[in-house]
């Protein structure tokens, strides 16, 4: 049986930048084991499978896999799959759509040239001091405020902390073996770190995300990681309702992308970005 797929680069308008996601457009009939094998074969940070919705009001259902496991939700796969579904005619372009996934119903919006998603409500917990020290050692970095380290659950569960400078963040060379062990120990999907640019810069933050326990040493441009950063910054008072900024991610892996972040008046985090189809083909499975 043949199934059409496309590869979409998310958080960029330029092919071969941003973060690629493989989108299987007609996934009905595939079992979980086959989906996982396909995700391992594409070997991208995520592969998605578009299925008919089973929840009222949803335009479609999306299942999201890393090379090693299924995720309840992820950012760049959600936006890339929305782009693919509209571009291939699976759904009609509308101002607002609903995606069904394991994390629930995700609200999506389509602006001219940009897609948006409302992040699931974040749940925050504080790792103990020993775990914080072990994490800093594995990263080879010191956090600006170790006490502010949080495990932010937005579907994926990110350990989030701030570094002192963009230069320090970009020069990091983590010990991925130790980092993967710590992620498993703490029940984390990965680690997302951020640092601010100087005042007046059009880009406000640089971000890096690592998830070696899931087979992704460094995720090029991570929507859920940026959403977790925004949730942390809103929660500690560094962002107010109505705030909007641009974050950059992916320089260190040659896939630089731009992430738009917005806090609405209710305190919900919205993640936005451009997308471009880079490849399409047929799977014989």
Q: What angle do CA 249, 120, 130 make, to 5 degrees?
A: 70
Are the beta carbons of 227 and 119 closer than 8 angstroms? yes
Are the beta carbons of 158 and 209 closer than 8 angstroms? yes
In terms of Cα–Cα distance, which of 134, 133, 157 is closest to 147? 133
- CA distance linking residue 29 with residue 27, whole number of Å: 6
DSSP state of 138: H
Exposed e or buried b per residue across 43-80, where buried means at least 16 C-beta atoms within 10 angstroms of its C-beta: ebbbbbbbbebeeeebbbbbbbbbbeeebbbbbbbbbb
Q: Which residues are catalytic?
A: 46
Torsion of CA 270, 221, 206, 212, to 10 degrees: 120
């Amino acid at each position: 049986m043949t199934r059409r797929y496309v590869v979409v680069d998310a958080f960029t308008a330029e092919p071969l930048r941003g973060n690629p996601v493989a989108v299987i457009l007609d996934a009905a009939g595939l079992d979980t084991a086959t989906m996982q094998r396909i995700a391992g074969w594409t070997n991208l940070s995520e592969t998605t499978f578009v299925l008919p919705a089973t929840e009222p009001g949803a335009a479609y259902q999306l299942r999201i896999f890393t090379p090693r496991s299924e995720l309840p939700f992820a950012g760049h796969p959600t936006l890339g799959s929305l782009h693919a579904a509209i571009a291939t005619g699976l759904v009609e372009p509308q101002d607002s759509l609903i995606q069904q996934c394991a994390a629930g119903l995700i609200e999506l919006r389509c602006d001219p040239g940009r897609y948006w998603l409302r992040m699931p409500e974040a749940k925050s917990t504080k790792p103990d001091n020993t775990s914080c020290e072990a994490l800093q050692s594995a990263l080879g970095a010191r956090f600006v405020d170790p006490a502010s380290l949080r495990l932010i659950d937005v579907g994926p569960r990110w350990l989030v902390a701030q570094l002192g400078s963009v230069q320090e963040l970009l020069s990091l060379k983590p010990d991925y073996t130790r980092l993967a062990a710590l992620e498993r120990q703490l029940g984390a999907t990965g680690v997302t770190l951020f640092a601010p640019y100087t005042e007046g810069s059009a880009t406000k933050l640089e971000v890096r995300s690592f998830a070696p326990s899931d087979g992704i040493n460094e995720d090029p441009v991570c929507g859920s990681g940026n959403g977790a950063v925004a949730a942390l910054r809103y929660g500690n008072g560094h962002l107010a309702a109505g705030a909007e900024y641009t974050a950059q991610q992916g320089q260190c892996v040659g896939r630089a992308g731009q992430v738009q972040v917005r806090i609405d008046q209710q305190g919900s985090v919205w993640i936005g970005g451009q997308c471009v189809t880079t490849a399409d083909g047929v799977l014989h499975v």
